[in-house]
Structure 1
Amino acid sequence: MQEKMQRAFLAILTLSLGTVGAAPGHVCTYYDVIKHLNVSSLDKLNAHVLPKRNWKEPLEVKTDFMLIAILSVAEKLQTATFYFMLNLEWTNTLVNWNPQDFCNISKVVLPLDTYWSPPLFILEEVSEQKSNKLEYLVVTHDGGFNAALPLQVTITCSLKILRFPFDTQTCNVSVASFLYPVTDLIMKLKRTSAEMKEISQTYFLTDGEWKFTNLSVIEYEEGMDDTRFSVITYMISMERQSILYVLNLILPTCALYLLDMAVLFGPSSLEEKVNFQIAIILGSSMLAVILNNILPTSSNKPPVIGTCLY
């Protein structure tokens, strides 16, 4: 009799543990959470209004940056194209649910336009942003929002070519939200610049002409009069891989000039020297044309190699 009572008690305990946070026989789904949040309604104010309970306190948005690829650098146009991941985190105190009421579901994935998200601008951008349409966000039960945005952006960058092809360049990617002043929205860094540099170097994909060397970040406020806006600038430093220019440009140029000196002081006849000098001039002109197609059309400080070649 006592053994039967123990078995019955264990059965009741097992059933009770299996149904914690849900009604008996009910199978929870993500649709239950979405219905509770009422995001399927036609009212889209939750997607356009800044989610603050106290209008006097600014909303804090944490940002994270990871450089994935340097796609191109156009010296003539003074532009650079980067592919990077921008991660945003913020809290919406108006969105919450109790996970125990939904079989311990603590987070859902929704389209980016379901709720309000920070409207960000890249100050140096000169072309339309491109992404792989991964426009979704993760919503947790306590109102935490996380959005990872992969972006391909072409920005304007002041390229200094004095030491071409042994030059290093630094381009800025400034992220700001000019719709909300600092009294409404503040942007903060989630990681330090050293941590973001380490992560970027780990996931950096391209191995072309440009090598990613450093990433620095500064936070500041910008604006006029009493209206200030929060801005975060990511400074991407890169170094040109010069081996191809050495093999295809510098070495042939040096060989031509050395050969020119050898013929000039050699025992050849005057006619042969003149013919060879003409060939040297034609070869130098061809190298000058090639170099002219590479370098920017205008620069206050032209590259040393171009000055020497001309």
Structure 2
Amino acid sequence: MLTVWPNSNMTWKPENYCGITTFAAPRNMVWTPDIGIKESIKTEFGTRESPYVLLLSEGSTLSSDVLSLTTACKMDLFRFPFDTQICSITLQSTVYSTEEVQLDVATDKASINLESKEIFQAQGEWELIDINVTKANMSKWIEVNQLIYQITIKRRPLLYVINIIIPVFFFLVLDVASFFIDTNASDIVTFKMTLLLSISVMLLILNDTLPSTADKIPLIGIYCSVIFCLIAISMVESILVNFLKVKGAEKRSVETTSTVNGQDDSVIDQQNPPDSVKDQNEESYTLNRLKQILTECRVATRRKQLSWIRLARIINLTFLVLYIITIIVFMSVLWKLWYYP
């Protein structure tokens, strides 16, 4: 940080002193302003002041300090990782009032932004967007002049998109694809349970990434939680469909057993000849009535079986359509809030 202030008592003509225009003097021999940073968090190696200041022949004093600054900045993580943050650095004097010390910028805003972006070339998580400088006065015990730097930075979201957003979306796509798997329903439930466990791991990673002091739930948290709930509801629907299909299969098993028993009885009756023709006619009439009753029960059972299976198919198809519509609406609204504020 370069600080320049006028010093009319230290002026000279360079031609009278062998053309010397600058002179390095010990800091403790020259008055220096006590400029501090309001948002600074004190650290052991926060500031390294140079032991010298530079005196200029026209009556100015220049001080160059190296700052390792740690500041407190309130962040809004609602649109994480597509968020833009504005942090302030406030320079002010702790002792001198506005009548004694006035702070001003040595260069214009365009030069500040150009030089800052040239320095801010590290390919890290943040990208420097803009630096705006304003002046203000603060009145507490005395009126103090302030110089406020508002720094606008934007997060680079590629890392979080690749590691969290895309994998969770693929889990949702796999869940939709599981409706078209022609296999046992228990295997589908196991597959969806694996998806739920995978999203749970993503939620744990997200919990370690985001601070727990946010005022609002970030959209990425809503994104993962809603997808988790959708897959859980889908798994419950698969369990219900499986239950209906199993119930229909049980009805079919009962029908097959009844048919076999009826056939066995007829065979046994044919192997035992009647005592008289009258008894034979009565038994034949009874057997025909029993066969008619069994046929009617079989038809009724088959209809009931088909009704359970048909109900399972209707529920599955209806849920799939509503599921896809819900996903499309949810993703559209979320993307609008996320990327287009």
Give the TM-score taking structure 1 as reference length.
0.68
Quick one: which of 113, 132, 147 aligns to 1:197?
113
Q: Distance in 2 between matches of 1:153 and 1:198?
A: 21
Maintained 8 Å contact 1:87/1:148: yes
Does residue 242 in structure 1 map to residue 172 in structure 2?
A: no
- Mark the structure with the bigger radius of gyration: 2
In structure 1, what residue type is equivalent to 2:135? E
| Corresponding residue of 1:268 | 183
Quick one: which of 159, 162, 165 aligns to 2:81?
165
TM-superposition CA deviations, 1:26-57 (whole Å, max 9, x none): xxxxxxxxxxxxxxxxxxxxxxxxxxxxxxxx
Deviation, structure 1 residue 135: 4.7
Does residue 178 in structure 1 map to residue 94 in structure 2?
A: yes
Q: Distance in 1 between matches of 2:122 and 2:47?
A: 18
Indicate the SS of the match to 1:89. Answer: strand
Deviation, structure 1 residue 300: 1.8
Quick one: which of 103, 107, 112 aligns to 2:27?
112
Does residue 96 in structure 1 map to residue 11 in structure 2?
A: yes
Maintained 8 Å contact 2:50/2:63: no
In structure 2, what residue type is equivalent to 1:205? Q
In structure 1, what residue type is equivalent to 2:132? S
TM-superposition CA deviations, 1:51-108 (whole Å, max 9, x none): xxxxxxxxxxxxxxxxxxxxxxxxxxxxxxxxxxx22111112223343342221211
Maintained 8 Å contact 1:194/1:215: no
More strand by share: 1
| Corresponding residue of 1:59 | none
Deviation, structure 1 residue 150: 2.5
Q: How many residues align?
A: 224
| Corresponding residue of 2:66 | 150
Bigger RCO of structures 1 and 2 (CA < 8 A, at least 6 apart): 1
Indicate the SS of the match to 1:244. Answer: helix
Indicate the SS of the match to 2:99. Answer: coil
| Seq. identity, % | 26
More helix by share: 2
What RMSD in Å do the two structures reach over aligned CA positions?
1.7
The residue correspondences of 1:39-50 to structure 2 (distance < 5 A) are none
Indicate the SS of the match to 1:282. Answer: helix
Deviation, structure 1 residue 244: 0.9
Quick one: which of 43, 52, 58 aligns to 1:136?
52
In structure 2, what residue type is equivalent to 1:291? L
Structure 1 gaps of 5+ residues are: 1-85
In structure 2, what residue type is equivalent to 1:198? L
Deviation, structure 1 residue 113: 3.2
| Corresponding residue of 2:172 | 257
Does residue 309 in structure 1 map to residue 224 in structure 2?
A: yes
Deviation, structure 1 residue 159: 0.4
Give the TM-score taking structure 2 as reference length.
0.62
In structure 2, what residue type is equivalent to 1:279? T
